[in-house]
Amino acid sequence: MSGRIVLAAENDDLLRAFGSDGQLSSLHPMPPRYNIAPTQPVLTIVKERGVNLVRLMRWGFLPEWVKDPKDYALVNSARSETVEEKPSFRNAIRRRRCVIPVSGFYEWSGSCPNGGSNRAYKQPYYIASAEGKIMALAGIWETWMGPYGEEVDTTAILTNKAQGAMADISGRMPVLIEPQDLDLWLDTSSDLMKDARPLLRRPYLRPLKIHPVSSKVNSVGNDDASLIEPLAAGRSEQDARATENDLVETRVDQVRPSTQDLDLNADQNADISETSTQLTLL
């Protein structure tokens, strides 16, 4: 599952995609972001009293019962197949659904784009709408209450089995909500899942564009438009020979898009991404 997302959209585009009756409460100008990582703030859309609201949330889900987030592994994604069963998620999926607007997202694969392979290197790919539209990733959210009364809204992206061209680079992909299904997904006035559940299984039929990009995206310190540019033809193996520093940086701070989400069999009983990173509140 993707560990990095991109949002580089104009406010007018967000209004057209997610506005309720032409309005989107609390929308303020935001700088473009090309390398948003877990633990960082992400823009989300929720519905309250029939109106779509913008909320900034921390990417990394914290159930309300967590006492100390330092003792809880980072949960940036949750499997849609089991989200209703997990104690960490089952209330949120019924009562606190959201979407995360993105211009695109990154996925890492062990295969080089020219058919080669390099065990020490994961090739990053950028995935976006082939129509140039904003995409809506299905999410759940929770408000974590700290011991001193502090409140932190946190979110996780829902995933399902990769389909189409995505299956060539990853076993998982985000659940993508179609524009016509947005209201149905966000409406939690009833906590029954019978209407929203099919959206977790529905294939995404809109075309996607997928291309390899530079390993510069491995570092969260890089955040500019060059990150989403297609890798020049013939450079894949050269780019795969990342410097020792690049490789170390990748292992340390890259939340890898895993083809397997791990289940915790302890009290947490939650799905986490392949890299279990301890989180620190911003």
Task: Identify whether 84 is part of a domain.
Answer: yes
Query: What pLDDT, on the 0 to 100 scale, is given for residue 247?
Result: 44
Task: Identify whether 85 is part of a domain.
Answer: yes
Domain residue limits at 60: 4-111+131-205+255-272
Task: Identify whether 150 is part of a domain.
Answer: yes
Q: How many CB atoms lie within 10 A of CB 4?
A: 27
Task: Identify whether 124 is part of a domain.
Answer: no
Residue pair 15/29 in contact by the 8 Å Cβ criterion: no
How many structural domains comprise the chain? 1
Query: What pLDDT, on the 0 to 100 scale, is given for residue 272?
Result: 35
The β-bridge relationship of strands 51-59 and 151-161 is parallel
Interval 227-243 mean pLDDT = 66
Task: Identify whether 235 is part of a domain.
Answer: no
Task: Identify whether 82 is part of a domain.
Answer: yes
Residue range 5-32, pLDDT digits in tens: 999 998 888 888 887 555 565 667 789 9
Q: How many CB atoms lie within 10 A of CB 49?
A: 6
CATH number at residue 12: 3.90.1680.10
Residue range 121-158, pLDDT digits in tens: 789 999 999 999 999 999 999 999 988 888 999 999 99
Task: Identify whether 80 is part of a domain.
Answer: yes
pTM: 0.80
For residue 180, CA distances in Å to 172, 183, 185 come to: 23, 7, 10
